[in-house]
Structure 1
Amino acid sequence: MVNDPSLKKIHIVFNGQETPPMKISQLFDARRFNRLTAVTGNVTADFFNRYLSNFIKVELALQTPKASDAKTADEVITKEALANALLAVANKRPAKLFEGLTSSNQANVLSGLFTVEISPVQALHSRFYLLSNHETHDTRVILGSIDLTADSFDKNRNQFEEVLVFDNDIRLFQNLSERFKKDIRPVLRPYFTDNLLKAAQAQLNEGAKDQKQVVPENQVVILDNDTTDQIAAADMTDIISHDVQKQMDAKIIPTTTTNAMREVTTARSQTKDDIARDVKQHDTVYNLQKTSVSPRAVKPKIKTREKIYQQVQEALISGMTPQQRQAEKKYTTFLYDRPMERNLVRNNSGLYVPNDAGTHPIPFGKLATTSQIRDGLRSIDAVMKGYQKFVVDYTDDYGKRFYEAILYTFTAPFLWEIRQKASLNPEDGNDVPNFLVLGATAGSGKSTLLRIINQLTWNTDRSLIDFGTIYPTETVQRKAKTVEAIEHYMKQGSSYPVLLDEIEPYFFQQDQYSRHLVVDTMNELVNNPHAIAPLIGTTNYDSGFTMLRETARRTYYLQIDKVINDQLKGEANKYIYNVRQTLDNTLFKDFVMRMANLLEDDETPWRDFNTENGRLDFLSNTRKIFRDYYQMAGMDVPSYFADQICDDFQESSRNSWAKLYVTQAEDFKYREADKSLLFDISKLNTFNGFTADSIEKYRNALPIELCVDGINGKRGKFVEIKAPEFFKWIGERNPYETPQPVHTEQPATKIENSKLPSSAITTEKPKKRGFWARLFG
């Protein structure tokens, strides 16, 4: 949808005069002003890094989101201010914001130059920005609806924003400055608490000791989950035991607040059905408020810090069963992509891994020698030779699937960055899928391939997660919990792919699972780009694999449907075992440095479309790097090297319908008036030899543009298909098409088609256009 250009979404008034749009860097001009004090609705790490880094001093207070169920003065404290403060800490938002800052900005926070605060006991709905320069005495006041986020200044979003700018209005500036100092500051507490800053400083000290430096240089802080769990527990305890009592003692909030805290859970059941997850979180913090106050005292008092701390710890794990906690621990591979820290001069790719002790992050990536590159390519070639030798009916085109999986895995940590650079608008982001599915038959070597790519990138084969064992078979709601666990793995902040073996077919075929994870995750990625770990999984291919249309569009599918020769399995196992002993991730470490270099180069092209299938080749620069590898190593580019994106889901879908037509042509009824075919899809039942889910498999595999009346042509008992387009798609002759006369230099002889042998009646098989290109391009 194109926005109406006559509608000005961002309205800027400068000193009383309407002005053309100003850039963010012009509004928050760090060259003219060097101090910023603000009350804002939200601030993102990216905005902070880009636009606030050059200020000498920054002081931010964050607004309190309004709560729909806060109707009284006491409820504004307990259900709005206090609940929001506890939720922010429980969800580790302060730690996530701090970790998102550049190392230099983290240092400014630790030194007290940059501060972020919140109000835990009063709802803070003010919003203003005060910029000043104590040397030139220039001032600026910005009022309006904007936040310190890029989204607030995006003119293409369907939102209206007001920005009122007042330069050198001394009276207004002084009025709001006094307002902040006298009224707002007394109710604030640090967002980056002492507990968080102490943990960050301890990690920096550990890093400096490890690098034998007196002062750590450009050392970024990334805290592990155990540390942030401890910080959250301590901070939630401090808010209740310290901040609430302090505000009551200062008479900023009434002493009756403890009564309101004790009654805060009243009437919560009314909204639980509509906002189940949100309610669960709110109930946790509300119960913390309630249980932190003496239950029967006439004048209830807050319990001791020690008792509250114990209650907080119990509350944080009360929503999880032991099985859920055990499932969470199955994913242990962490590779963090931090492009703002990328420094190619210092050989920093922007990727970080935890050090061996797990105390602090260290840069990942190292340029390899030509000899090492050659060894890495030879290792991959040895893997491919194994498939060449032991797979039945192996071809070089088939081998491209294995090689393509390797290229995808190498690229995986950077996919979220590539998606931004390749996209002209958010919808384009779906062309860079965050999901790779290897559809394979049993005995095809798919699990071995997954272990091989794990070794080539992570130098281990133990990062695989068996889909079927994430939860025990007898677990209640096992399917839903399994998908929740996978979503959790993907959203840990790491960009190393989640490697899943043997994904069960229900995941792709049932909307509540695949749509939730694949579609919703991709929508989140394209609308809010950040590192969400890609998923690489294998699933059994039984000649009828299918995905829901929305899932298929956002998934890269490679079909591995040929098996290892049974008679050679012993030899094959011995061969691949020996090859795997030689594998390491030296080539991958070099690759990340080269890919980081391309990402930093503004001249690097990212929109490379294939002319045959219309698909974006999001791996085009990966292919370029590998071609350069072969040239550097003095090796020929192998015949199994894929020059473009494979389109196996389209081929699988086409093949399924082609076989169906060839074997059951009499079931396709032709309608002359519409030049269409009617097919009774209900015939694909178990009574006729099909599987229980064949109807949906074939329905999903049929492209919408082949159906009369679009999506409606796929619904119901009868599927109605455009005959000419259908026959071109499956590569079969259209028996209902009137033959065109053949012009030759010899006198034409009239020959009845019925007298010609079937082999003489041929049609040129059209070039196969990509499934995605036909549907969406």
Structure 2
Amino acid sequence: MTNDPSLNKIHIVFNGQETPPMKVSQLFDSRRFNRLIAVTGTVTASFINDYLSKFIQVEIALQTPKAKDARTAEDAITKEALANALLATANKRPAKLFEGLTSANQSNVLTGLFNVEFSPVQALHSRFYLLSNSDTHDTRVILGSFNLDQKDFDKNQNRFEEILVFDSDIRLFQNLSEHFKKDIKPILRPYFSANLLKAAQDQLDEGAKDKQATGNQVVILDNETTDQIAAADMTDIISHDVQQLLDKKILPETTTLAMREVTTNRSQTKEAIERDIKQHDTIYTLQKGSVSPRAAKPKIKTREKIYQQVQQALISGMTPQQRRAEKKYTTFLYDRPMERNLLANNSGLYVPNDAGTHPIPFGKLATISQIRDGLKSINAVLDGYRKYVVDYSDEYGKRFYEAILYAFTAPFLWEIRQKASLNPEDGNDVPNFLVLGATAGSGKSTLLRIINQLTWNTDRSLIDFGTIYPTETAQKKTKTVEAIEHYMKQGSSYPVLLDEIEPYFFQQDQYSRHLVVDTMNELINNPHPIAPLIGTTNYDSGFTMLRETARRTYYLQMDKVIDDRQKGEANKYIYNVRQTLNNTLFKDFAMRMANLLEDDETPWRDFNTATGQLDFLSNTRKIFRDYYKMAGMEVPAYFADQICDDFQESSRNSWAKLYITQADDFKYRQADDSLLFDISKLNTFNGFSADSIEKYRNALPIELCVDGINGKRGKFVEIKAPDFFKWIGERNPYDSGTETTTDTDLSSPTEEEKPQAESPVEKPAKKKGFWARLFG
């Protein structure tokens, strides 16, 4: 949230009196108070960055989520406190929270000014906030059920909560302060462990030696480092924290016995979500295995043995195939807008340095000569398609140029989506998926490699869809989609470049709906960097996508081929062109786009007046037009001025051909002024492909069907006759007053014809590979 939200749906009682709504910054007033002690449910990095940065001392204790299957006092330790602590560590939540802090707040943590803690051995359900000023001795006590999360103060969350604020109530403040120090503090341990802080400090020390790492250094730890931290911290929780509190008699002697028996009576719990079960079973098994198996009073094993068990748990359940598949994606570009500093030439993008030890800023303004060279290289690429593609036209060339513009914009799409959206549903207008539907021999894979070179200065980042897993792999389709989801959710903003996506991905909802729809829903409801996907797929005359997938995908159709007679010459030409490609222009683009994102006056909601579509690449086009002006070059004819809506045109064309060739199969129903079509006739016996029924069903817009989605289901499709004929551009033979409409551009719907917002789709449970997929 950009501004402090108004708390008009939160009832605030201030010193016993009802008070008007207060802003978050007023509740946590860093001008009046400089110290904070908080016992809360959750805390987000953005909340700390926005509201707590100016406090000189912050101590936050995190609550323990209640376990559904905790029934006894021992369960509150083993199934609630200890399991939650191990799960948080295994999920790398401390590292993720630390990485989300600004560089200044990361420094505050390293110097001990900001402390976040949690309780691994006692359930902590308290919640209160103590603010004070060490100079003026002003105090404030806040009691309430909210978390340190902007969402809890969002008026659009549509919920009511109570907040009790007590200013200068010294007795209450001292009471709770003493309770915290005497009772709660002894059972807390640092959420940011010594292992994590050492790794962070080591990276900062390494970065300080690098001349490229200008300005404030930010910590972004790689997966291997956070894996090692998680393993060491989980071991320490059991071998040190539990043992220490047993020795001090803070924990009862029965704790180790409860740890050994923690896996009993699990049948009912195993009916819950599969992923949650696997996580808990893993943690419980670790608890059980960490104590002696047969002793009447079990003792905790040595640290070395526990560490071995933890390491084994980290990799058990993942096959070597799964581990190899997840390592195929190795391109990382991190978007950190909170670190953006245009005066210091910092675009907010970071990449790992050559040694992979620490992140360095990415982006550099280019000279006019370099910009001109970059544009000439792109023009040379398009000239190659112009020379060697059969029936090439500038209109067709726009697809290639549009793909390049999308790739340049990709790292910033999640930010653009936030700025262009008035409400979450608008986010679907900024798709995180670009699909290049192309025939064999059209140069689509070459284009993907060119995109890679123009943005990353290499052509080796492509992932071949069909070889993510070997052919003989059991459940290959499901595992392939799970791997792609993993690639997209590594925290990087650089697009996943996926070649030769197989048709089943688009046509079967358990794959495309799961990845495309669920990912977009996640992005619009919880904006954060999820890598866009740019993929190619073989196009034929019947290519289609599920409507929900198409709504959230930018589809560009490349259905022309390179002339067979000139393939040798074409290969030689494009080879020579590719030797000239680099990412100098992309680095400059990163700086210019970052500047637009930081400018509050930049317009992001640019709609095409003819189609009503949001042009989410509008500002990218502006930057490139400025490039041509600076370079003294004319804007090429294949420069796209608006979004290309190829999927809708392809769908319209398919049904137009079907009607023209099989008009007798469309039966007119006068009562409803509709057409009935027996879609079961689209079978192999009649010369269609095996999946033609679903292809045509998916390609038919819902708004053309009688009774909406119900009109598309079953054996007979029922279509509104007037709308259908207008859509396909044919004369309506059942309306004597209708003139032919073939001269009208019907490739795009009018405002009234535009698809209505779809109802939310229930998300299927996400199944991922074992530990790495369970815990990130």
TM-score, scaled relative to structure 1: 0.95
Per-residue deviation at 1:58? 0.5
Residue matched to 1:702: 700
Residue matched to 2:17: 17
Distance 1:341 1:308 in 2: 39
Change (3 A) 1:428 1:763: closer
2:731 and 2:738 in contact (8 A); partners too: no
Residue matched to 1:71: 71
Counterpart AA for 1:177: S
Per-residue deviation at 1:217? 4.8
Change (3 A) 1:211 1:293: same
C-alpha deviations, 1:743-774, integer Å up to 9, x for none?
xxxxxxxxxxxxxxxxxx67642443259971
C-alpha deviations, 1:113-136, integer Å up to 9, x for none?
000000001111111111111111
Determine which structure has greater relative contact order: mean sequence separation of CA pairs < 8 Å that are 6+ residues apart, divided by chain length.
2
Per-residue deviation at 1:456? 0.1
Residue matched to 1:145: 145
Per-residue deviation at 1:454? 0.3
Distance 1:570 1:421 in 2: 47
Distance 2:252 2:702 in 1: 63
Distance 2:114 2:327 in 1: 35
Alignment of 1:44-443 (within 5 A): 44-211=44-211, 217-443=215-441
C-alpha deviations, 1:301-351, integer Å up to 9, x for none?
000000000100000111211111000110000000000000000000000
1:612 and 1:767 in contact (8 A); partners too: no
Distance 1:315 1:153 in 2: 39
Per-residue deviation at 1:271? 3.0
Residue matched to 1:750: none
Counterpart AA for 2:755: L
User: Secondary structure of 2:305's match?
Assistant: helix
Number of residue pairs the alignment of both structures matches: 750
Bigger shift: 264-273 or 501-510? Answer: 264-273
Distance 2:484 2:437 in 1: 19
Per-residue deviation at 1:693? 1.1
Counterpart AA for 1:626: F
Change (3 A) 1:318 1:770: farther
Matched, 1:775 2:773: no
Distance 2:269 2:691 in 1: 37
Per-residue deviation at 1:269? 3.5
User: Secondary structure of 2:156's match?
Assistant: coil
Bigger shift: 274-283 or 184-193? Answer: 274-283
C-alpha deviations, 1:170-211, integer Å up to 9, x for none?
111111111111111011000000000001001111111223
Residue matched to 1:532: 530
Per-residue deviation at 1:268? 2.2
Distance 1:580 1:70 in 2: 62
Per-residue deviation at 1:560? 0.8
Alignment of 1:25-40 (within 5 A): 25-40=25-40
Per-residue deviation at 1:357? 0.5
User: Secondary structure of 1:130's match?
Assistant: strand
Distance 1:57 1:189 in 2: 17
Distance 2:524 2:165 in 1: 32
User: Secondary structure of 1:60's match?
Assistant: strand
1:650 and 1:771 in contact (8 A); partners too: no
Residue matched to 2:764: none
Per-residue deviation at 1:169? 1.4
Alignment of 1:732-771 (within 5 A): 732-739=730-737, 764-770=743-749
User: Secondary structure of 2:755's match?
Assistant: helix
Per-residue deviation at 1:80? 0.8
Alignment partner of 2:547 out of 542, 546, 549: 549
1:703 and 1:771 in contact (8 A); partners too: no
Counterpart AA for 2:139: T
2:728 and 2:746 in contact (8 A); partners too: no
Change (3 A) 1:762 1:488: closer
Alignment partner of 2:617 out of 616, 619, 633: 619
Off by >3 Å, runs of 4+ in structure 1: 761-764, 770-773
Distance 2:649 2:245 in 1: 67
Alignment partner of 2:558 out of 553, 556, 560: 560
Counterpart AA for 1:121: V
Residue matched to 1:649: 647
Structure 2, unaligned runs of 5 or more: 1-6, 758-776
User: Secondary structure of 1:272's match?
Assistant: helix
User: Secondary structure of 1:268's match?
Assistant: coil
Residue matched to 1:752: none
Distance 1:384 1:364 in 2: 27
Distance 2:377 2:199 in 1: 42
2:8 and 2:21 in contact (8 A); partners too: no
Per-residue deviation at 1:549? 1.1
C-alpha deviations, 1:409-430, integer Å up to 9, x for none?
0000000000111111111111
Change (3 A) 1:501 1:303: same
Counterpart AA for 2:166: F
1:41 and 1:62 in contact (8 A); partners too: yes
1:685 and 1:695 in contact (8 A); partners too: yes
Residue matched to 1:476: 474
Residue matched to 1:3: none
User: Secondary structure of 1:775's match?
Assistant: coil
C-alpha deviations, 1:31-65, integer Å up to 9, x for none?
11111100111111111111110110110001111
Distance 1:311 1:771 in 2: 62
Per-residue deviation at 1:272? 2.7
1:615 and 1:770 in contact (8 A); partners too: no
Distance 1:689 1:313 in 2: 57
Distance 2:48 2:114 in 1: 10
Distance 1:776 1:619 in 2: 23
1:678 and 1:719 in contact (8 A); partners too: yes
Bigger shift: 156-165 or 638-647? Answer: 156-165
Distance 1:349 1:162 in 2: 41
Distance 2:312 2:521 in 1: 34
Aligned CA RMSD, in angstroms, stands at: 1.5
Residue matched to 1:607: 605
Alignment partner of 2:683 out of 676, 682, 685: 685
Distance 1:450 1:212 in 2: 29
C-alpha deviations, 1:688-727, integer Å up to 9, x for none?
1111111111111111111111111111111110101100
Structure 1, unaligned runs of 5 or more: 1-6, 742-760
Per-residue deviation at 1:293? 0.3
Distance 2:749 2:412 in 1: 25
Bigger shift: 263-272 or 593-602? Answer: 263-272
Per-residue deviation at 1:160? 2.8
Bigger shift: 504-513 or 627-636? Answer: 504-513
2:144 and 2:164 in contact (8 A); partners too: yes
Counterpart AA for 1:390: Y
Residue matched to 2:455: 457
2:726 and 2:746 in contact (8 A); partners too: no
Bigger shift: 424-433 or 366-375? Answer: 424-433
Change (3 A) 1:451 1:45: same
User: Secondary structure of 2:286's match?
Assistant: helix
C-alpha deviations, 1:420-470, integer Å up to 9, x for none?
111111111111111111111111100000000000000000000000000
Bigger shift: 651-660 or 7-16? Answer: 7-16
Matched, 1:502 2:481: no
1:508 and 1:548 in contact (8 A); partners too: yes
